[in-house]
Amino acid sequence: MAELERTAEQDLAKKVDETRQRFKDELLQDSGDKYDSRDVERLQKDDAVVEGYLTWRLYVVDDALKMIDESLQWRKEFGVNDISESTIPKWMFESGSVYLHGYDKEGNKLFWFKVKQHIKDAKTILDKKKYVAFWLERYAKKEPGMPLTVVFDMAESGLSNIDMDFVKYVINCFKIYYPKFLSKMIIVDMPWIMNAAWKIVKSWLGPEAISKLKFASKSEVQNFIGLEYLPPHMGGTDPFKYSYPPLPDDDFQTPICDNGPIVSEEETESKDGEMESKDALESSLNSEVAVKPKKVNFLEDSLRAEDNDRGDTSARTKGARKPLTTFKGPLLDVSPSEELSFGSGETEKKCLIILSNVTKNQVAFKVRTTAPEKYRVKPSSSCCEPGASVDIVVSLHGGFQASPQDRFLVMAAEMDNVGSQELTQFWKEVPKTKVMEHRLRCHVLETIKPTASILKDSIVDTGNNGQQEFNTVLMKLMASNSRLEQKLNSSLWVQKVLMGLVLVLVVLNLLCLYLLGTAQQPS
């Protein structure tokens, strides 16, 4: 298996090199001002960009080059690299017709289109297209490589809300301009009168995306999106109401550490002030001198933590799932590259994040999460020496289970004047432009049915090796049987449909015979 993966990686690397070389030879020399130089530079340096086009075009270099050419021309025409909140009309943000919020059951970000708020207008169509590009470009920078689930909310919409040119543009965004971005496209509560229009839309999607189109009623959409991220009019419980400003965003919070929640920097300062006042009062009442709490120096704290952890590192990381992939960052290499895998078993509740310093300076880091009540992180904040690595253990605690909607954010920044910097002060003063951010999502491992685990336990308890081997074979058979049941159920469904059609034909034949018999009878 490892050899096959290595071969596949080598083949992909060759395809990437071939695509870059042919882009340079066939497209770039005659391009003139056709492309934005920033996009060309990104294509030449970032393997993930080229891989995205190749994967979406099934590794056919000719097709990938056509897609790259069209995509880069569009980016130059629309000025995508320079689109910002200030370049979009304010009324578009205030309308809330398009926005990012929430996650589906697979952990993909939701991209909402409120169709009823869209009215066809030739004067504003260009701004509307740039508005969509703004959101996609914003997401591409915040969550590189992570797919989106597009939700067309058709509630209270009609034919006047359908602009086929705009819909085709949205589809091209995922079909050409942002390859591999589309997880699925869900059309919710579509009025029957729009069936003809959406048949045309399906023809635009093409074979690579047609399977991603899902039509769902208010009840069926819950198969794709949990109630916590569905609005009340779809039967959900999400209290979110779009408003502007500010723009809605992921709420990354500082995770829970070994001894409970880490307080925010503002809370720390206020508590320091309270403690100083309290100590001063106690010292005036008592003859003893109160010891004031001391702010911990970042370097001292990290060195002390290293000393304490040196003896129990192996014990701390024992049982944690080791990462197999790596994200190559400008300051830190982060392993795993995309997701942390958790399961329901006791041995599946710990994951390891490995940070490796690739700079010549000390790098400060901290880890934040969207679900701080669920996870313990050790260490959640520290620093990493040049050329060194730090193991971070992320573990579920209590009765919590991981969810694909959970996210982790690794933040890192190079440190200057290490000896004089404190943790809170450093993160307050460091410019955002110098902070590296990398996001990880959670992957929930599939588990075997409880009945199977009960059977497994009952057999293993006997302590007989032969029975353990039998149990392993039996578990495989049960898994195979489950897959066969699913296939059989789908086959039975097809048979029922066919039987229904046969029954309809029989009834029609009988009706025809009856009518013929009636017509032949003498009047």
Q: Which residues pair with 186 in a beta bridge?
A: 151, 214
pLDDT range class, residue 312, cuts 50, 70, 90: low
Give the model's pLDDT for residue 271.
Answer: 44
* pLDDT in the model for residue 322: 80
pLDDT band of residue 232 (cuts 50, 70, 90) is: very high
Which pLDDT does position 3 carry in this prediction? 65
Does the pLDDT at position 306 exceed 70? no
Cα gap 511→521, rounded to integer Å? 16
Tokens matching residue 504 = 């309809």
Confidence of residue 221 (pLDDT cuts 50, 70, 90): very high
Q: Coil, strand or helix: which one is 151?
A: strand
Taking alpha carbons only, the member of 109, 100, 145, 101 closest to residue 404 is 109
Identify the burial level of 250 via C-beta atoms within 10 angstroms of its C-beta, where 0-12 means exposed, 13-18 middle and 19 or more buried: middle
**Is 70 exceeded by the pLDDT of residue 54?**
yes
Please tell me the distance from the alpha carbon of residue 17 to that of residue 19, in angstroms, as a whole number.
5
The closest of 182, 169, 177, 186 to 129, measured between CA atoms, is 169
Is the preceding omega at residue 261 within 30 degrees of 0, hence cis? no
Average pLDDT, the chain: 76
User: Measured between alpha carbons, how far is 104 from 109 in angstroms, rounded to an integer?
Assistant: 7
User: pLDDT tens-digit profile of 110-127?
Assistant: 999 998 888 878 888 899
Tell me the pLDDT tens digit for each residue of 176-208.
888 778 888 898 888 776 677 667 766 766 666
Q: What is the mean pLDDT of residues 124-148?
A: 87
Structure tokens at 405: 């909607």
CA R_g for the chain: 29
pLDDT in tens, 235-252: 999 988 888 888 876 667
Say if residue 336 is preceded by a cis peptide, omega within 30 of 0. yes
Query: Could you read off the pLDDT of 461-488 as tens digits, one per residue?
Result: 444 455 555 555 555 555 555 555 655 5
Give CA–CA dist 237/240, Å, rounded.
9
Kindly state the average pLDDT of the residues 85-89: 89
Average pLDDT over residues 254-278: 48
In percent, the amount of the chain with pLDDT more than 90 equals 12
Q: Assess contact for 368 and 408: CB atoms under 8 A.
A: yes
Helix (H, G, I), strand (E, B) or coil at 383: strand
Torsion of CA 166, 170, 172, 175, to 10 degrees: -160
- Token match 């694909």: residue? 404
The predicted model scores a pTM of: 0.61
Q: Which residues contact 281 (CB under 8 A, 6 or more apart)?
A: none
| Structure confidence by residue, pLDDT tens digits, 280-289 | 434 443 433 3
